[in-house]
Amino acid sequence: MSVVDTALVAGYTVGEFLLFAAAGFVVLAIGMLYRAVKGPTMQDRVLAVNVLGTNTVVILALLAAALSEPTFLDIALVYALLNFLMAIAISKFTVERGGVL
Amino acid sequence: MTGLEPVVAQVTAIEASLLVFVVLTALVTALARDVLAAVIVFGAYSLGMAALYTFYRAPDVALTEAAISAGVTTVLLLLTLAKTTRIDHETVFEEVNLPAAGAAGFLFAGLALTMGDVPAVGSREAPVWSNPDVTQWYLTETYAQTGVENTVMAVLAAFRGFDTFGEAVVVFAAGIAALIVLHREVFA
Amino acid sequence: MSDARPNDRDDEPGGTGAVDGESGDNGTDEKPDDVPPHRAVARSGRLDSEQRQGTPYTESQVIMPTVKIVAPFAFTFGLFVTFHGSGSPGGGFQGGAIMAAVVFMIAFAFGIEATRDWLANTVVVALAVGGTLAFAAIGLIPVARGGAFLQYDLLPIPVKYGLESVEVFGIAAIVSGVLMGLFFLLANGFASDGSGFGDGGTGDDIDDIDDIDDTDESASTGSDPSPVTDGGER
């Protein structure tokens, strides 16, 4: 019986609340997808994919807490470290279309 | 595997939003006119898939998706794109090829017809979970037989070790095949 | 990126940092006025052409220090995922991919050519080949002792460490070696059209560069036989 299973308000437990919060972040990610698709410039897309990555780290951390599986935080850590790689790869690519690699 | 029932009872919000996100990113990846935009949205697709795998309690798959997709695939695709020339596009999306879309829709409809017989996600009655000879045997016997807590790794390295050896050789062969295709003799 | 940087900073005799000094080395005076300081030549021709190879790599004052800080932690985390695969999610495949991604990160920050010099071809090949041989050897030791392939209880070490050694010495080494190799390989490109920013170490394509440049500068992409280019034109 961890803190995740304790009732919070109106019969909802803390875990369910965290899951709803994660769902809200996914909805935000869908909104951010508009910027990634529409652009109009590549810088917009780089920024959008960076925000999406940070968003995903939050979602994964919330899932790890809600499912009370601390080892799931490893995935969030991997994303936090590698999302940076994705961001610098795309941003360096947008300059001169990879000419400065 | 504690607390599976409450998760099954209220899958709706997080699962539905993640599925919408994944389907949207997959469609945009397929339809985007600009290749760089498609690569970027494909990175976003992998983010959604990793969260979905995590929610379905498959952390090993989620970790693989995170490491391979975010770290490797995007970078390798961008490096390949850097070797090509850019074509300016007027439109954001490709035109949909109607016969191809019809064939894909037909396949989707055929697969969707079978969904009624598939057990619910996380159901304890699903054969893949309740089977005493396979899943339950591995879950109960792995630690006694190998001393390893992570059942997935034990299955990969010990119980199905010969398959994993084959996969490792395939990865090695893929590196050699890339050398041959690109007419190189050394990697670095 | 640094388009807004005023050009007169390069004319100052002193007081410029290392990065400014390098962009000054490219010769600001010869450049046309519409070319930003970080770019040695005007945007023209293909990336592979001789002109465009003037600045194959541009230092970034944001990316380099950040990678210096992040890379050790990311590499340590890759080692953790590899070595702790028996107790938590992960294993050799994931850990090897993370460690290879750290090398990508370093290559983006410090230049692919510099990383290519730093990480010799021998290391990459030794990882890939050594991993395959180590996996096969661990599998064949029990066979030599009269058991089956990969029968861990016939190894002279506990079963758990047998699994761990397959993950660490076998799979992680293969995956990280092959992924690093693919990265350097794709950065070099197709050999016979002389593309890539370096000579790739083979040396046999250097003679072709002069012939290739003639077609490149005429901006004729249609006649290029490279399959990579064909994919991009689709």
Instruction: State which amino acid sits at residue B121.
Output: V
Res B21: pLDDT: 92
pLDDT of residue C48: 42
* Residue at A77 is within a domain: yes
The answer on C36 and C86 residing in a single domain is no
Residues C68 and C53 in one domain: no
Domain housing C168? 63-190
Task: Establish how many alpha carbons lie within 13 A of residue C36's alpha carbon, considering only the half-sphere containing its beta carbon.
Answer: 12
Domain contains C230:
no
> pLDDT class for A19, splitting at 50, 70, 90?
confident
d(CA C129, CA B26): 36
Asked whether the beta carbons of residue C43 and residue A100 sit closer than 8 angstroms, the reply is no
Q: Would you give per-residue pLDDT tens digits along chain C (234 residues)?
A: 444 444 444 444 444 333 443 443 444 444 444 544 444 444 444 444 444 444 456 677 888 888 999 999 999 999 999 998 888 888 889 999 999 999 999 988 888 888 888 888 888 999 999 999 999 999 999 999 888 888 888 888 888 888 889 999 999 999 999 999 999 888 887 766 544 434 444 444 444 444 444 444 444 444 444 444 443 333
Residue A98 lies in a domain: no
Q: Are residues C90 and C144 in the same domain?
A: yes
C183 found inside a domain: yes
Cβ of C191 and B182 within 8 Å? Answer: yes
Q: Quote the pLDDT of residue B153.
A: 87
Say yes or no: C52 and C150 in one domain.
Answer: no
| Residue range B77-95, pLDDT digits in tens | 988 888 877 777 677 777 8
From the candidates B1, B10, B19, B47, which should be mutated to test the interface with A, based on the most A CB atoms within 10 A? B47
What is the per-residue pLDDT for B170? 94
Q: Sorting pLDDT into bands at 50, 70 and 90, what band is B136?
A: confident
Phi, psi (degrees; rounded to nearest 5) at C201: 85, -15
Q: Are residues C135 and C179 in the same domain?
A: yes
Same domain, C38 and C122: no
Specify whether the CB–CB gap between B186 and C121 falls below 8 A: yes
Residue numbers in C near B63 (CB within 8 A): 81, 89-90, 94
The candidate with the shortest Cα–Cα distance to B22, out of B56, B53, B57, B46, is B46
Answer whether the bond into residue A40 is a cis peptide, omega within 30°.
Answer: yes
ipTM confidence score:
0.86
User: Is residue C67 within 8 Å of C102, Cβ to Cβ?
Assistant: no
| Residue A79, domain extent | 3-93
- What is the pLDDT at residue B137? 87
Comparing C-alpha atoms, which of B73, B70, B97, B77 is closest to residue B35?
B77
Nearest by Cα to C58 from A91, A37, A4, A32: A91
Which is higher by pLDDT, A4 or C51?
A4
- Regarding predicted confidence, which is higher, B145 or B91? B145
Contact list in C for residue B59 (CB cut-off 8 A) is 89
C133 shares a domain with C179 = yes
Facing residue for A71 by CB, picked from C89, C105, C111: C89
Query: Do C173 and C68 fall into the same domain?
Result: yes
Cross-chain residue pair A81–C56, CB shorter than 8 Å: no
Q: Calculate mean pLDDT across residues A9-27.
A: 83
**Do C172 and C111 fall into the same domain?**
yes
**Token pair belonging to B109:** 């409809």
Q: Where do runs of H (alpha helix) occur along chain B? A: 4-9, 12-31, 35-55, 59-65, 74-81, 98-113, 127-130, 135-146, 151-154, 161-181
> Which chain A residues touch B13 with a CB distance below 8 Å?
19-20, 23
Counted domains in chain A: 1
A·B CB contacts under 8 A:
147
| Count of the separate structural domains present in chain C | 2
Q: Once rounded to an integer, what is the mean pLDDT over residues A58-62?
A: 92
